[in-house]
Amino acid sequence: EAQVTQNPRYLITVTGKKLTVTCSQNMNHEYMSWYRQDPGLGLRQIYYSMNVEVTDKGDVPEGYKVSRKEKRNFPLILESPSPNQTSLYFCASSPRTANEKLFFGSGTQLSVL
Amino acid sequence: AQSVTQPDIHITVSEGASLELRCNYSYGATPYLFWYVQSPGQGLQLLLKYFSGDTLVQGIKGFEAEFKRSQSSFNLRKPSVHWSDAAEYFCAVGATGGSYIPTFGRGTSLIVHP
């Protein structure tokens, strides 16, 4: 089944403790991206990747890192999480660009205490 | 810079009634336009997409949307709402002008009364 898989679904952590949210797609998509969803703000893009080893900032990249060492994986790294990063996070992929259908993961609810 | 406005935070309709969700965008040329739906606890799913051609676009689950250039609008419609349509709906403008970053609206929450 074609899908984007995020893990974990729920994560509670404390300020400053490094964490990684994984994202994997099995559709051989070139374009992958991360979003955060906050009430009243919709989805805002954090980072995107056009292909392996090619990543770039979205609208709200501060406090986040990403890497794209393999085509299928696009992990989101929070090296020193802070409470303002408490949010619902989504990974998405598409065949080539953001102007095609985006396939979304089921989301990761992160709480930073 | 492009922007998307969904003026209604919540919409309440009765099951079987018609539905229209509003979306206005700001961009100099014709952008890529999308409607996504997010069911509780789920990721977003594409309902339909427009870039060119017929301004009335048919999507999945019986939804359609009409692009109106003169009004910079891309409203989503459904003639008869089902209880399972209760969800959050997002309008989005695709990446434009050399950017690779799409812009999402704030979302409209649809409540369906039996």
Task: Give the model confidence (pLDDT) of A22-39 as tens digits.
Answer: 999 999 999 999 999 999
Interface test with B, best of A35, A104, A108 (most B CBs within 10 A): A104
pLDDT: which is higher, A80 or B99: A80
Interface of A with B in 5-64 (CB under 8 A): 35, 40-45, 48, 50, 56, 58-59
Phi and psi at residue B59, in whole multiples of 5°? -125, -165
Q: What is the pLDDT of residues A65-76, one digit of tens each?
A: 999 999 999 999
Are B4 and B103 spatial neighbours (Cβ–Cβ below 8 Å)? yes
What is the residue whose two structure tokens read 């009004």? B71
Residue at A6: amino acid letter? Q
Q: How many CA atoms lie within 13 A of B96 on its CB side?
A: 17
Q: Which of A40, A58, A101 sits opposite B49 (nearest CB)?
A: A101
pLDDT of residue B64: 98
Of A44, A100, A108, A97, residue with least CA distance to A75: A108
Q: Which chain A residue has its CA at the smallest distance from B105's CA?
A: A42
**Per-residue b/e over A69-95, b at no fewer than 16 CB within 10 Å?**
eebbbbbbebeebeeebbbebbbbbbe
- The answer to whether residue A105 neighbours chain B at the CB level (below 8 Å) is yes
pLDDT of residue B92: 95
In order, the DSSP letters of B32-94 are PEEEEEE-TTS-EEEEEEESSS-SEEE-GGG-EEEEEGGGTEEEEEESS--GGG-EEEEEEE-
pLDDT of residue A40: 87
Asked if the Cβ–Cβ distance from A42 to B41 is below 8 Å, we say no
Of B40, B34, B36, residue with least CA distance to B83: B40
